[in-house]
Structure 1
Amino acid sequence: MSRLGRSFSFLWSSTALSNLADGVLKIGAPLLAVSMTRSPTLVSLVGAAATLPWLLLALHAGAIADRADRRRVMAVANAARAAILAAVALLAALGRLDLWVLLVAVLAAGVTEVFADLSAQSILPMTVTADRITKANGRVSSAQMIGNDFIGAPVAGLLVGVLPAVVFGAPALLYAAAGLLLLGMRGTYRLPDPGSARGPLRRDIGEALRYLWSHRVLRSLAISAGLLNLANAAYFAVFVLWAVGDGSMMGLEPGEYGLMTTAFAVGAVFGSVLAGRAAGIFGDFRTVVGAWLVSSLLLLAPVIMPSPWALYPTAVLWGLVGAGGNVLVISIRHRLIPAELLGRVNSAYRLLGMGGMPLGAALGGVVAEFAGIAAVLLGAAGVCLAAVGLVWRALSERISKPLTSAPILSDISGSR
């Protein structure tokens, strides 16, 4: 870690703590919702609330990341979500927690996450040299998976049954600590010339949208990622009902459901570490498309084999290919987007990539209510496979070429 520099070490440590907090919330909130209602529509609202801020605020958060000190944005966002969750923990301790308070808490945490995550992705290239970006992204992705799934998820499964207030109190402390760690990053993390910093944000946002849409490679990846995330949001918004409870297909306990995400994290850690090596053998784009294809096919496994013994190895493979593909996609964006546009274009990309998630989560709940949970799971897998076919067709001329080859870069610089 030290070879990546002091600033990256503090950024990595802050990321590890904040993602541990994310992991507790990500699993704890749906499990709390299931304890309050068995309605697929109401349970799916938790997933919709967590991702709705990406649809509403991503573009503005990206523009601010290109204007402000990115470290300061992250610190303020962490402090804000620590305060919000501490207040919700107090309400839970007083017995005032219900489904609607839970939804408001998840929504508020999601708002701060948008600003923190976009600034974190934009600040990373400012902490390491260009030749170490993929390695640094692999380290960050490993920290995210360990925090989110390997530790946070099983802890959340235990806390839900023991003391629900801690589901919010523990993340509040972790976010506060993550914000304090950012103070160890020396220097300023504001662009030397933020350009039209005094102009309207809409001008900056428009510039980013035009750049992304005219960039064939990034546009194709963003649209395909959007379809994948929409389908996965629908899938996992109701998957907890397929897996947990006496009336479910798998009959898992909350703690066992948390172990599924631990299995996911084990695979994700290996995927994050091995992503660069796989890209060196198969090429960046071929590895990404292959990872997305395998991940999509794996969505069928819990439907075909609704058994815990099949679920856990499937989760390991989900993590392996999911994290590996994610590391490479982020590294591709870091290499292809100009530094002065990184925050804004990243936000535009993630708007396309994640903006459909609240719709997907809500749609999954509604479809499950009328057609059954299995219909949602199978339909989501079908949409994912279609998205993989779309990106394969769009990048077919580049799929076997390395990212750094002259033909690709010259085509990219020509916008189409």
Structure 2
Amino acid sequence: MSSTALSNLADGVLKVGAPLLAVSMTRSPTLVSLAGAAATVPWLLLALHAGALADRLDRRRIMVVANLARAAVLSLAGLAALLGLLDLWVLLAAVLVAGVAEVFADVSAQSILPMTVPEAHLTRANGRVSTAQMIGNDFVGAPLAGLLVVALPAVVFGAPALLYGAAGLLLLGMRGTYRMDTPRTQGRRPLRRDIGEALRYLWSHRVLRSLAVTAGLLNLANAAYFAVFVLWAVGDGSRIGLEPGEYGLMTTAFAVGALPGSLLAGWAAGRFGEFRALVSCWLATSLLLIVPVVVPSPWTLYPTAVLWGVVGAAGNVLVISARQRLIPAELLGRVNSAYRLVGMGGMPLGAALGGVVAEFAGLGAVLVGATGVCLGGVGLVWRALSDRISRPLTSAPALSDMSGSR
């Protein structure tokens, strides 16, 4: 848990600090959106390979190497900033390499949790992990990034480098082996066969397939939305008119909501049914996207961010817990990564598309269009699994009972 907290604090500084640094270098929506694309394109290129390796190798060791690699790369970027050599392209390169390491670290982290927690406690455990992530990412890291960009830009890279390094060293203290010791892993099957097995399993599983496609649409639209939202919110020419430090406070407001949202996910699943609670969270998150567009004011932005946090965090805990229960242990790394490829692979495309559309049609067109895509995605999953929703709550199965064709 300590390693998770440190690495997510680093994530929070980098996630907010990189776009703010980009805005200080250019006001072009296309170029600013590249910061978001660079952070997420590794999911499109490497998610399947990361999952295959997580099912073959010790998952803890993968996380250690990934964290130390991020520390090294960001240390070099911080040094470049101190020497006056930092420009937009150096920034993008650092974010890209850090994103590559993040893919391997995150896939292994989600796959290692079921090896340490009983299945009945997965939702609670994921809620606690999500809480630690939100505290680090948004409650502390994001506002800290806003201050660092103004005070000393080099620390936007240097601080995460130290935190990732410490997280990697803490993982060395975990006892035991976190490797799936099966006959398959002892052989020398090509990675492509392992990857193909995962893709077939995901596509043949009705529930996982429907959730993955919907998550892909939501993440593509949100990537487009938030890739240019910084231009809508920050600066003298923006609609909301925030200062960089105030923009960091927006993600703090998100974290204020995310903390109870993460912890209440289990209660919501028990009270309303796991699937119904998840889709309701996705719907609420999508509807809230239009609020800063219709009422562009700090007085509405911060409460909206709190609500984003509540429903977004709850939905995230519910869908991660469902995947961990539905996917067999020996396939968890690969199918998890295949799901995340579908779910997150569109994020770099969305970020780049958001910048291009904003360049020609304006920021408002991107924000409204992204909201529409999110609502359409929720409608698709609602229709695909409507038979599950229409059942009375007393007889509605948990997601773990919806095994589809597998």
Residue 250 of structure 1 contacts residue 307 of structure 1 at CA under 8 Å; is this kept in 2?
Answer: yes
Q: Which amino acid aligns with 2:374?
A: C
8 Å Cα contact 2:322-2:400 kept in structure 1? no
Instruction: Show the counterpart of 2:260.
Output: 270
Q: Which residue of 1 aligns with 2:192?
A: 202
User: Which residue, out of 76, 89, 113, partners 1:124?
Assistant: 113
CA contact (8 A) 1:66 1:194 kept: no
1:316-371 alpha-carbon deviations (Å, 9 max, x no partner): 00010000000000000011000000000000000000000000000000000000
Aligned position for 1:30: 19
Task: Report whether the alignment pairs 1:323 with 2:318.
Answer: no
Q: Specify the code of the residue in structure 2 equivalent to 1:31.
A: L
1:93 alignment partner in structure 2: 82
| Structure 1 Cα separation of the partners of residues 355 and 61 of structure 2 | 38
The answer as to 2:223 corresponding to 1:233 is yes
Q: Tell me the equivalent position of 2:345.
A: 355
Closer, same or farther in 2 for the Cα pair 1:377/1:298, shift >3 Å? same
**Counterpart-to-counterpart distance in 2, 1:265 and 1:116:** 22
2:156 corresponds to: 167
1:195 deviates by 1.1
Structure 2, unaligned stretches of length 5 or more?
A: none
CA 1:177–1:411 in structure 2 vs 1: closer, same or farther (change >3 Å)? closer
Matched, 1:153 2:106: no
State the 4+ residue runs in structure 1 displaced beyond 2 angstroms.
399-411
Letter of the 2:113 counterpart: L
In structure 1, what is the equivalent of residue 289 of structure 2? 299
Instruction: Give, in whole Å, the separation in 2 of the partners of 1:171 and 1:93.
Output: 15
- The letter of the residue matching 2:178 is Y
C-alpha contact 1:82 1:172 (8 A) present in aligned 2: yes
The residue type equivalent to 1:168 in the other structure is: F
Matched AA of 1:326: N
Q: Which residue of 2 aligns with 1:414?
A: 405
Q: Give 1:290's match in structure 2, choosing from 275, 280, 293.
A: 280
Q: Which residue of 2 aligns with 1:373?
A: 363
> What TM-score do the two structures reach when normalised by structure 2?
0.97
Q: 1-side partners of 2:241 and 2:262: how far apart?
A: 31
Per-residue deviation, 1:13: 1.1
Alpha-carbon contact 1:300-1:381 (below 8 Å) kept: yes
Quote the Cα distance in structure 1 between the aligned partners of 2:240 and 2:404: 50
Aligned pairs (5 A) from 1:43-192: 43-192=32-181
User: AA paired with 2:200?
Assistant: R
Amino acid at match of 2:142: A
Q: Over residues 205-225 of structure 1, what are the superposed CA-to-partner deviations in whole Å (9 max), with x where a residue is unaligned?
A: 000000000000000000000
Q: Which residue of 2 aligns with 1:221?
A: 211
The one-letter code of the counterpart of 1:179 is: G
Deviation at 1:129, TM superposition (A): 1.0
Deviation at 1:406, TM superposition (A): 6.9
Which amino acid in 2 is paired with 1:263?
A: A
Q: CA deviation at 1:202?
A: 0.2
Shift of 1:192: 2.2
CA contact (8 A) 2:275 2:399 kept: no
2:134 and 2:258 in contact (8 A); partners too: yes
RMSD: 1.5
Counterparts of 2:315 and 2:228 in 1: how far apart (Å)? 24
2:246 is equivalent to residue 256 of structure 1: yes
1:308 pairs with 2:306: no
CA gap 1:232/1:292 in 2 versus in 1, 3 angstroms: same
TM-superposed CA distance for 1:404, in Å, is 10
**Percent sequence identity over aligned pairs:** 78
Separation of aligned partners in 2, 1:60 and 1:404? 39
| Counterparts in 2 of 1:306 and 1:285: CA distance versus 1, 3 Å | same
Deviation, structure 1 residue 411: 5.5
Matched residue SS, 1:412? coil
Q: Distance in 2 between matches of 1:66 and 1:298?
A: 38
Q: Classify 1:317/1:339 alpha carbon distance in 2 versus 1 (closer, same or farther; 3 Å).
A: same
Relative distance call for 1:258 and 1:406 in structure 2 (3 A) is closer
Query: 1:194: how far off?
Result: 5.7
Residue 247 of structure 1 aligns with an amino acid whose one-letter code is G
Q: Distance in 2 between matches of 1:240 and 1:409?
A: 39
Deviation at 1:184, TM superposition (A): 2.0
Q: Offset at 1:227? A: 0.1
In structure 1, stretches of 5+ residues that fail to align are 1-11
Say whether the 8 Å CA contact 1:284–1:402 is kept in structure 2: no
Structure 2 residue identity aligned to 1:268: A
Look up the equivalent residue of 1:240 and give its one-letter code: V
* Paired positions, count: 404
- Offset, 1:414: 3.1
